[in-house]
Amino acid sequence: MKSNTGDLIFTTFFAIVAGFLTSALMLLLLGLNPLNVFAEAVAIMFSDKYNIGDIFVKSTPLIFTALAFAFTYKANLFNIGAQGQFYAGAIVAISVSLALQNFLPPAIVLIITLLSAFVGGALIGTLIGFLKARFGANEFLVSMMSTYVVQAVMNYLLRTFLKESKGEYPQTDAIDASIRIPRIWEGTRLHAGIILSVLVAVCVYILLYKTSLGFRIRAVGLNSNAAKMSGISIRKITILTFLISGGLAGIAGFTEVNGVQYMLIQNFNPTLGAAGLGIAILANAHPIGIIFSSLLFGGIEVMGNIMGRMSGLNIPASFIQIMQGLVMLFVIVSYFIREKIAVHRNKKKLMEAMEDAD
């Protein structure tokens, strides 16, 4: 549908612009000239390779949580609990890393950690999918609430079994340097996780568009009635998509623990899930589009950090969240506006067809 792609680009562009404009109002309130601040921040961002590398570092987990949302979305299901599945992945990643780092070769530990992080997130996802399929529970609510449970479990573990050996703070010991995800750009924090995330995004694309299973998932999402009438089990598809979706969010736990933080701390990356949702909608749930919209959000985060550090301006760190939040809000609104436009256009077409017929 050509016109719809046009709608998508048009409305998304305006959503992003509207997000930035509204954020700019916040700068105006601080008595600053938004144009100057934005221009300077962008200039600083692209003059330093550390900052450029950080855009990709910030984007990596976002790609996973966005893929998680997009994957169930393709089956017309809503997994808004990517945050919790990310935590589950992170808990598993740190536990497996700490347990195995002294016994197995680093490469093997990394692979096992990656797979277990997937399984960790997948378990939470499967539970949500099962409750939906078996009891018709509202997956929206269950997935949202599951985040709080996993978060509470994480805090519990950080104060008990996973607490650092010094016993001071609610955080884990750091993992051994040998099992960090390797850096791929000297002088930056950029690690191989970005390559993994792009590969996974491509795999998700292939799974959705080139396999029979992906075909069934999309068929359920686009017309569950017709899918059911074709002998496709909606229950099976529901559980399976939630399993994969949860696993995808779980991998973000691996890249953040083994690639960036090297330990698990309280209140770890608390906005990954919500940001992933906005990114997925921004990309219209397309796995490849998600790579690019994640880079946009990663960029906003880095730019916001730079603004916070600009001397004499006193821009609070929360400005990043305001920018991200507003862009996301407008992008989500744009989705509904697109629907409206589509309905309006279809109606107009019908009207014309009726008039032609008369």
Partner 1 sequence: MKKTPYFEMTNITKLFARVVANRNVDLEIHRGEVLALLGENGAGKSTLMKILYGLYKSDEGEILKDGETVKIQSPKDAMNLGISMIQQHFSLIPAHTVLDNIILGTVHGRINYTDCEEKVQKIVDKFDMDIDIHAYVRDLDIGEQQKVEILKALFLSANLLIMDEPTAVLTPQEIDKLMEFVRSFVDQGNAVIFITHKMKEVMQVADRIAVMRNGEVVAEFPCEGVSEAKLSNLMIGHQLVEVKSGTRKVEANTEIGLRVSKLNYTKNNIKILDDLSFDVGKGEVLGIAGVSGNGQQELCEALYGSIKIDSGLIELNNTDISNFSTRDRIETGVGYVPVNRHDDAMVSDMNLAENVLLRSSYDKAWSKGPFIGEKKLKAYSDNIINEFDIKTPGSDQKIGHLSGGNQQKLIVGREVHIGSSLLILNQPTRGLDVGAVNNIHAIIVDQCMQGKCIVMVSTELSEIFSLSHRIAVMYKGQIMGIYRPDELNTEKIGLLMAGYSGDEVAAHEK
Contact residues toward partner 1 (CB under 8 A) are: 1, 210-213, 215-216, 218-219, 222-223, 225-233, 342-343, 346-347, 350-351, 354
Instruction: Pick the closer one to partner 1 by CB: 160 or 225.
Output: 225
At its nearest, how many Å lie between partner 1 and the CB of residue 276? 24
Instruction: Pick the closer one to partner 1 by CB: 189 or 218.
Output: 218
The SS3 of residue 265 is strand
Instruction: Pick the closer one to partner 1 by CB: 108 or 199.
Output: 199
By CB neighbour count within 10 A (0-12 exposed, 13-18 middle, 19+ buried), where does 252 fall? Answer: buried
Measured between alpha carbons, how far is 143 from 191 in angstroms, rounded to an integer? 30
Nearest to 183 by CA among 260, 295, 94: 260
Measured between alpha carbons, how far is 140 from 24 in angstroms, rounded to an integer? 33
At its nearest, how many Å lie between partner 1 and the CB of residue 202? 15
Instruction: Pick the closer one to partner 1 by CB: 2 or 166.
Output: 2
Instruction: Pick the closer one to partner 1 by CB: 72 or 95.
Output: 72
**130, two tokens:** 């099962």
Instruction: Pick the closer one to partner 1 by CB: 5 or 178.
Output: 5
Instruction: Pick the closer one to partner 1 by CB: 49 or 347.
Output: 347
Q: Which long-range contacts (C-beta less than 8 Å, at least 24 apart) are formed by 182-189?
A: 185/49, 185/53, 187/49, 187/50, 187/53, 188/49, 188/50, 188/52, 188/53, 188/54, 188/57, 189/50, 189/53, 189/54, 189/57, 189/260
At its nearest, how many Å lie between partner 1 and the CB of residue 110? 26
Measured between alpha carbons, how far is 279 from 336 in angstroms, rounded to an integer? 15
At its nearest, how many Å lie between partner 1 and the CB of residue 356? 13
CA distances from 191 to 59, 106, 236, 269 (A): 11, 16, 36, 17
Nearest to 224 by CA among 287, 133, 143: 133
Nearest to 86 by CA among 102, 103, 74, 69: 69
Longest Cα–Cα distance in the chain: 84
What count of Cα atoms within 13 Å lies in the side-chain half-sphere of residue 266? 12
At its nearest, how many Å lie between partner 1 and the CB of residue 352? 11
At its nearest, how many Å lie between partner 1 and the CB of residue 323? 33
At its nearest, how many Å lie between partner 1 and the CB of residue 215? 6
Instruction: Pick the closer one to partner 1 by CB: 119 or 227.
Output: 227
Instruction: Pick the closer one to partner 1 by CB: 141 or 207.
Output: 207
At its nearest, how many Å lie between partner 1 and the CB of residue 230? 5
At its nearest, how many Å lie between partner 1 and the CB of residue 350? 5
Mention every residue, 6+ apart, whose C-beta is less than 8 A from residue 43: none
